[in-house]
Chains A and B, each alone.
Chain A
Amino acid sequence: MKEIKTADKLNKKYLRDGMLPTIFCNGCGHGVVLEYTFWAIEELDLDMDKTVFASGIGCSSRLPGYINADGLHTTHGRSIAFATGIKAANPDLDIIIFTGDGDCAGIGGNHLIHAARRNIDITVIMINNFTYGMTGGQLAPTAPLGSIATTAPYGNIEHPFDICELAKALGANYVARWPVTHPYQPIKSLKEGIQKKGFSLIEFLSPCPTAYGRRNKLGDIKKHWKWYDDNTILIEDYNKTMKYGTDEEKEKIKNKMQIGVFQDIETPGFFEEYEKLVKRLQDKQSKGGEK
């Protein structure tokens, strides 16, 4: 009979000794994402000697430190470029990145764009809490219109950045978004993303009661979780309503955040193409062609 897994057993197996307690506040969603990732890793039976976790700067970027595996905690926004180098040096490694909305969509946007475009075989887990939590709640590029931040004290007037739509447009092989409030769909997406050859991006909508919630009437974690239920809609439901719904129904959902799997394709990635290039050159060289 298969052994019954519990969060406690997974923690014992995957957490790094000597790093606890975490830096996370009460109600923070980062630990939830870490737990979902452990479930996915466990179900995939990943070899933790051959899995590398990378991150940039911010609360979510502290996650690799808590995992008993190789980890590279890099500079702000650059983790995807670092990971590209790791993968180039050793394509046998599975590389998983933890990043936040500020780290990934703000300062690191350029690396995200080009890694997705090149379809680099890495998995990016972007934990979107609508804020720069570690530095105390400044305005993030994903923050909803009208939301309050320490650097947007009169309400955000910038349009939020939809990272899933961006990654999809760039041809990333796997793109999904889920709130942390339900475990099964995101764990399935994490498994699919990690297994997928090419670039995978899984965005989590995750609460930051301390830096974001308090300023936006969501300091109570129950309210914060309910906000996700009230303000998200499955991609399939969204599309159906937009096609067949009444004007009133359309109006009701048009500003909701879509959740689900945005893209699931099989385009060859950079390193697959690069290996072909190297082989082509070797064949040519052995025939004495290329000088």
Chain B
Amino acid sequence: MIYKRDPKLIRNVLGNKVQFILGDMACVYGGLLAGCSFFGGYPITPASEVTEGMARMLPRVKGTYMQMEDELGSIAAVIGASWGGAKAMTATSGPGFSLMMENYGFAAMTETPCVIVNIQRTGPSTGQPTLGAQGDMMQAKWGTHGDFEAIALAPSTVQECMDFTIEAFNLAEKYRNPVCVMADGEIGHLRERVIIPDEKDLEIIDRVPATIDKKKFIPFTDSQTRKSKVPDFPTFGTGYRTYVTGLTHNEKGFPATDKQPDHEKLVKRITTKITDDLDKLTNVEKLYLDDAKTVFVTYGATARPAESAMEAARAKGKKIGMLRLKLVWPFPFKEIQKLAGKVDKIIVPEMNLGQIVHPVREYAEGQCKVVSAPKIGGEMHLPSELYKYLEEK
């Protein structure tokens, strides 16, 4: 059966508007609201609840759920489903994310919209399966071979798990690129109140389908119907007879593997289609940045203890602020450049040994001090631990 998004049915399956649910489950809700009609998954802690939630709910909204044989198969089926016309997603954690890297690059190279939820856990290797971390933030950007542009969101609350999964689908469809929701075991396994947005408040973006004359259609070039570097999408079975390959290809989609300009033209288009829109994509939360002299730059779970430390310090009259990156990739470097020119010190708390601190330091360009505040081992920072960084000179 070919899926058609049925808002009434989806809301009937989701139930009450206000609920108290797991972060993992909120990713399921977000997917269903966005119109996800194919989910391919493989069990892995702490992301299994996403897969289980999809197994329960997706057939009830007439979508297709499949437990694949491994994570390689999950992401492959997701990309295939997307070419078949579905909005498709998978969910995993560190080891599975590592296994998906080859096809993550394939999705970028073939401009396939799809969503990967990564409920991060500690690593390397098997690490601490039930404990959260933020160790895959750089992998989302650099994990696949070659040049491409990542899009990744990092939720700090259960509500954001839902909202950012919807947003991830919208960005995937708009830019025809894989999009990661980089949650973590802390948020994924946290229960919080969520409010399901009403249909009228929901923005749902669908890929632009190819509509022009089949003989004139060029599948891998700037859109022929809009001013955009994102081509219109020739869904399989609609008669466009498109050849899709992970090889470097020309505008027609044919392999063009031996000439430098062909590769440069293709890869520059599929990266700049995203970076050109950096200002539109940038999504940050700013707290007390008007007067702050020391600021936390945070994302995901670590924003929570950082906010507590900030509030405690402000209660004592210290001028502390916070910049929270809701969208981590593409990196909002202009925000960092601006901020670094205004403040004395930036502190970057992360549940890894220091990842996002590197682009922060790069774009601070020596204008202020940049300090990494790492914590690993599956425990979140305590506000008191972060408070100490505020007292250091």
Interface residues of A (CB under 8 A from B): 16, 18-19, 48-50, 52, 54, 64-65, 68-75, 78, 81-93, 110-111, 113-114, 270, 274-275, 277-278, 281-282, 285, 290-291
Contact = CB atoms under 8 A, between A and B. Distances in A.
B76 interface: yes
Given A85-B84, A88-B86, A71 B59 contact: no
Residue among B13, B64, B240, B252 with max Cβ neighbours from chain A (10 Å):
B64
Interface in B89-105: 102-103
Given A50-B237, A91-B1, A85 B77 contact: yes
B241 A49 contact: yes
B372 to A, nearest CB: 36
B255 A65 contact: yes
A95 B255 CA distance: 22
A75 B76 contact: yes
Given A19-B254, A89-B85, A90-B84, A65 B77 contact: no
Contacts of B64: 88-89, 274
A74 B255 CA distance: 13
B261 interface: no
Contacts of A285: 12-13, 60
B247 A274 contact: no
A93 B66 contact: no
Given A70-B240, A92-B2, A85 B247 contact: no
B37 A89 contact: yes
Contact of A110 (B60, B69, B79, B238): B69
Given A65-B245, A73-B245, A85 B236 contact: no
A40 B238 CA distance: 22
Interface in B44-89: 59-60, 62, 64, 66, 68-70, 72-74, 76-86, 88
A85 B82 contact: yes
A53 B223 CA distance: 25
Contact of B79 (A48, A82, A90): A82
Interface in B203-257: 234, 236-247, 252, 254-255
B237 A70 contact: yes
A70 B242 contact: yes
Nearest to A55: B245
A237 to B, nearest CB: 36
A20 to B, nearest CB: 11
A82 B80 contact: yes
B81 A92 contact: no
Nearest to B78: A85
Contacts of A69: 241
A288 B110 CA distance: 43
Contact of B236 (A18, A52, A281): A52
Given A75-B106, A78-B72, A85-B78, A90 B243 contact: no
A85 B83 CA distance: 9
A70 B241 contact: yes
Given A73-B244, A85-B77, 13 more contacts: A19-B254, A49-B237, A54-B80, A72-B83, A74-B246, A81-B72, A85-B79, A86-B236, A88-B81, A90-B85, A91-B2, A92-B2, A278-B62
Contacts of A73: 243-247
Interface string B146-178: 000000000000000000000000000000000
B69 A113 contact: yes
Nearest to A271: B64
Contacts of B236: 52, 70, 72, 86, 90, 93
B83 A81 contact: no
A87 B236 CA distance: 10
In the complex, the 9 A-B pairs of residues with the closest C-beta atoms, listed nearest first: A89-B84, A85-B80, A85-B77, A85-B81, A81-B76, A82-B80, A73-B245, A89-B86, A81-B73
Contacts, number: 159
B113 interface: no
B59 A274 contact: yes
Given A70-B236, A75-B102, A89-B88, A16 B243 contact: yes
B243 A110 contact: no
B40 interface: yes
17 contacts: A74-B76, A75-B103, A78-B103, A81-B77, A82-B76, A84-B40, A85-B40, A85-B80, A85-B86, A86-B80, A89-B2, A89-B38, A89-B85, A90-B2, A110-B72, A278-B1, A278-B62
Given A81-B73, A90-B84, A72 B62 contact: no
A231 B245 CA distance: 37
A19 B241 CA distance: 14
A68 to B, nearest CB: 6
A84 B237 contact: no
A97 to B, nearest CB: 11
B90 to A, nearest CB: 10
A84 B247 contact: no
Interface string B1-39: 111000000001101000000000000000000000110
B7 to A, nearest CB: 15
Contacts of A78: 72-73, 76, 103
A45 B152 CA distance: 45
A113 B69 CA distance: 9
Given A16-B243, A110-B69, A114-B69, A291 B15 contact: yes
A277 B245 CA distance: 34
A114 B67 CA distance: 11
Nearest to B243: A71
B103 A84 contact: no
